[in-house]
Structure 1
Amino acid sequence: MTYATVMVSLALDQSNEARLQLAGELAERFEAAIVGVAAAQFAPPLYFTDGAAAQGLIDEGEASVKRRLADLEAQFRAAMANRGGRAEWRSAVDFPERFVLAQARCADIVVSGGQSPAFSDAFALASPKDLVMQAGRPLLVVPDKARWLDLRSVLVAWKDTPEARRAVADALPMLRKVRDVTVVEIAEQGDDRSVAMAGVTDVAAWLARHGVAASARVAEAVRNETAAAQLEKVAGNVEAGLIVAGAYGHSRFRELILGGVTQYLITQSARCVLLSH
């Protein structure tokens, strides 16, 4: 397995430099084609009007969206100009989530920016929370401050769920290029540590059979500290440039309301994160 096509999702009204940089690096590492995608929809104003005035407002709004999408295309092509390989652009006046999810069928991996914990504009960007749930492809979430794809050390956040198993398999092409891989499970209160250790040891052995040298460890639960905070602490200890994790192993509604590891990784982590659902 390899990444033959990398897709990068761009957004209006957000910085796209980091995701463009890392998507370009990823495409170069795997000699992959790269597809840039963006969509936006004119958001009608809250006040009411009708007739010619209404149509004029709609026409002006849609023209503005098209100009901004053209600007994103120019930014994408400038970023990929010296990368080599094949670069393709796709855009539409459409709801971003719907358009990007449809285009993801042509990609092996989708690159997106992170998301502010605050409300996001569904007319201007495809939320990474929705992409990871529905794209059927691994999602590489790139924080705005990332400057390069650091694969010297990678942390695999393990929990024995279908999502985590899929994430490790989806990350294999990348993990084969990593110097240090650590598989860790954050033990919860009451967990049998020996069972957890057996699990991460199995994952490390599975990776070894695929040409990836990995170490295994179990981090003990800390009272009054979230699993996300503990994971971040381990990632700092191993100097991980990337975290690989399954997305929404619990109910997504529960994570959105109570907070959870996926929510943290998408909205607050300063590291790149590869997520699969």
Structure 2
Amino acid sequence: MGYQDILLHLSDDPRSAVKTDVALRLAQKFKAHLIALYTVPPPVVPYYSGEFVPAAFMQQQVDESLAAAAKAQAAFEAATAREGVAAEWIVTEGAPVEAAATAARAADLVVMGQPDPSPQEGILVSPAVGLLPHEVALSTGRPVLALPYAGQFTSIGKRVMVAWNGAKEATRAVHDALPFLKAAEKVTVLCINADKSRGTPGADLVRHLARHGVKVELANTVADDISVGEALLSTIADRDIDLLVMGAYGHSRLREVVFGGVTETILDAMTVPVLLSH
């Protein structure tokens, strides 16, 4: 099992070069075909502009967006040629979420960026830039590698942590992440506040992964004074983790009660790349 097709989502945002670099290295690592999907957003109308918006104002945004797309394409094609990576470029002016979800269904892995968690007040954020990895994971059933908004990621997947609660979403995430897990120097399966009445939580998964040749260890911990999401972030820092693997859960009130809004906590404050599956 491996990743044969990697989809990279790009848009006119300052982190495009970082995302491209990560996707290129992953394509080389897994000998995968790299597909760049550039989503051109619809024009943004300022809420204070009133009912009438001049056509010239709208057309200017379109022209600027298409010019940015052409510039991004030139940079992407130069980078893939330099690195010898088989690649293709797709640009779409459709709704960003739908376009990304459609393309993702024909890929093994999707690489996306975390939207800026603290955008400057008064700055118009393009819907293409603010595309949520969580949305794509939930709507496609494909694994999404979300990259934090800040930082450089020269190493992804040497020290991996699996957030394990036994749920079907976590199970899917583990198996979607197997190419990373098999190549890792060390994998930690972390169970937080797990029920120990039926034996050691996570032990079956550790044995299963070991049979796949994964260098894996089990860790169980209790989070009394902090949330599960905060406990995950703390453990990531303590163990120098460079990739988190976890299930992506929906936003219903019931799920937020059961799982403590873990997905939202991680995606709001992520410090390392996160592989999400639903």
TM-score for the superposition, normalised by structure 1: 0.88
- AA in 2 matched with 1:176: K
User: Residue 98 of structure 1 corresponds to which residue in structure 2?
Assistant: 98
Is 1:140 matched with 2:106?
no
User: Residue 167 of structure 1 corresponds to which residue in structure 2?
Assistant: 173
- Distance in 1 (CA, whole Å) between partners of 2:200 and 2:255 is 28
User: Residue 181 of structure 1 corresponds to which residue in structure 2?
Assistant: 187
- AA in 2 matched with 1:2: G
Number of paired residues?
268
Residue from 200, 203, 216 that aligns with 1:201: 203
Q: CA RMSD for the aligned pairs?
A: 2.4
CA change 1:78–1:222 in 2 (3 A) is farther
**Bigger CA drift: 121-130 or 163-172?**
121-130
- Distance in 2 (CA, whole Å) between partners of 1:123 and 1:271 is 22
User: Residue 80 of structure 1 corresponds to which residue in structure 2?
Assistant: 80
Cα distance, 1:130 vs. partner? 1.2
Cα distance, 1:268 vs. partner? 1.3
Deviations 1:8-32 (A, max 9, x none): 1112234222211111111000111
User: Residue 242 of structure 1 corresponds to which residue in structure 2?
Assistant: 243
- Name the SS of the counterpart of 1:155 in structure 2: strand
Unmatched segments (≥5 aa) in structure 1 = none
Residues 138 and 250 of structure 2 are in contact (CA less than 8 Å); yes or no, is this contact kept in structure 1?
Answer: no
Written as runs of structure 1 = structure 2, the 5 A alignment for 1:1-277 is 1-39=1-39, 40-45=41-46, 46-49=49-52, 54-118=54-118, 121-122=126-127, 124-143=129-148, 144-187=150-193, 192-195=195-198, 198-223=200-225, 225-248=226-249, 251=252, 255=256, 260-277=261-278
- Distance in 1 (CA, whole Å) between partners of 2:166 and 2:209 is 15
**Identity %, equivalent residues:** 31
Cα distance, 1:79 vs. partner? 3.1
Runs of 4+ residues over 6 Å off in structure 1: none
- Distance in 1 (CA, whole Å) between partners of 2:137 and 2:93 is 22
Residues 62 and 93 of structure 1 are in contact (CA less than 8 Å); yes or no, is this contact kept in structure 2?
Answer: no
- Distance in 1 (CA, whole Å) between partners of 2:81 and 2:132 is 27
TM-score for the superposition, normalised by structure 2: 0.87
Residues 134 and 248 of structure 2 are in contact (CA less than 8 Å); yes or no, is this contact kept in structure 1?
Answer: no
Cα distance, 1:125 vs. partner? 4.2
Cα distance, 1:124 vs. partner? 4.3
Unmatched segments (≥5 aa) in structure 2 = 120-124
Cα distance, 1:255 vs. partner? 4.5
- Distance in 2 (CA, whole Å) between partners of 1:211 and 1:155 is 16
